[in-house]
Amino acid sequence: MKIVDLQLTVVGVPRHTGFINKHVIVELFSDEGLVGIGEMSDFSHLPRYAPDVHDLTNVLKSILVGKNSFDVSLINKELLGNFPEAMYYYEKGSFIRNGIDAALHDLNAKYLDTSVADLIGGQVREKIKVCYPIFRHRFMSEVEENLETVRRRLQQGFDVFRLYVGKNLDADEAFLDGVHREFGSKVTIKSLDFSHLMDWKDSLRAVKRLSKYNFELIESPALANDFEGLKEFRVRVDEPISEHVWSFRQQYEMIKQNAVDIFNISPVFIGGLTAARKAAAAAEIAGKSCLLGTTQELSIGTAAMAHLGSTLVNLDYTSDPTGPELYVGDVVKNKIQYNNGYLEIPDRGVKGLGVELDPELIEKYRVEDLSWGEVTVHQLQDRTANMTKTKS
């Protein structure tokens, strides 16, 4: 099956916070009349540069048009040569590779009249336990807002939450205390996520301060690529340590240093389903667990992650993909579903990823480019609306 054309469409979909995230929707056209779809998810990350979509389209066409869509390894090798790993968490090349790789999987599975999950190994589970994110406190006034988020989401079935920490420890502690007092055992804090904002010593002091509250694991408690610091932190705490995988060299160093217990694997950060499966296999060989991370994808990207997660035998911890719940809209006819705190895997009888683009929604959310203009660093870091608050 030959690839005959490619189309990239930029959409800007608002979150419930008011922040508008930009994504690139990928369509791969084949000589069989089938179309594979993918998602270059959430370009709203630091650094603030973004690719020119017209130029990116021409580059990708030069790589893809005329290729056999089943030559996935060959195509990924060429993509990696043009958009190489940079040992950086928010490296945009991995976002690009991820969108193309998902579209290839969707296209090939449709041609074979099967689901992506069955294409890549078959399901070992029908649903994935997920947590809802509580975004980083900058001001004490945000504590009650976040407690209200817990109340509202608990009523919808989400009983596990991931807390971003490190900007305002007084507020972090007040929030954890509020959760403990109001909800008790009804609510679980999956993790304290430091997002590489602190060095390991500062993170250790923060964990000691917050350790009187229950949480299951700790994420990203050292500066990015500080493998020795990550190991030093790990040997000093009782909770398991999780870290994202954003390059195979980085994963190799973490395995070599025995610096983590859990690999946080997300196709968007490692460069696609093909790469994510390799990272999960490396984790399994090293005797490490996995969880599915997220950049808060729309339904296309989340569906790809659901298919991936359904096949992983070492997915031992609560995962993160709740993106479609964070947005006011989506770009598909059949939005991915959650039930009682679980991400539902698309039915095994579906073809491809099991989601279909809605042309009307594409037009509703279409934007011209990925430029960020006057958006501030704090907005891009924490995906917050542009509002002024008074510290209290």
Q: Are 194 and 203 in contact (CB under 8 A)?
A: yes
Q: Give me the catalytic one of 89, 111, 132, 164.
A: 164
Q: Are 53 and 25 in contact (CB under 8 A)?
A: no
**Which amino acid is present at 98?**
N
- Tell me which residue has tokens 């006011």: 328
Q: What angle do CA 248, 296, 96 make, to 5 degrees?
A: 50
Q: Give me the catalytic one of 90, 111, 317, 327.
A: 90
Q: Are 192 and 216 in contact (CB under 8 A)?
A: no
Measured between alpha carbons, how far is 200 from 307 in angstroms, rounded to an integer? 34
Known catalytic residue at 164? yes
Measured between alpha carbons, how far is 14 from 20 in angstroms, rounded to an integer? 4
Token pair for 31: 């000589």
Catalytic residues: 90, 164
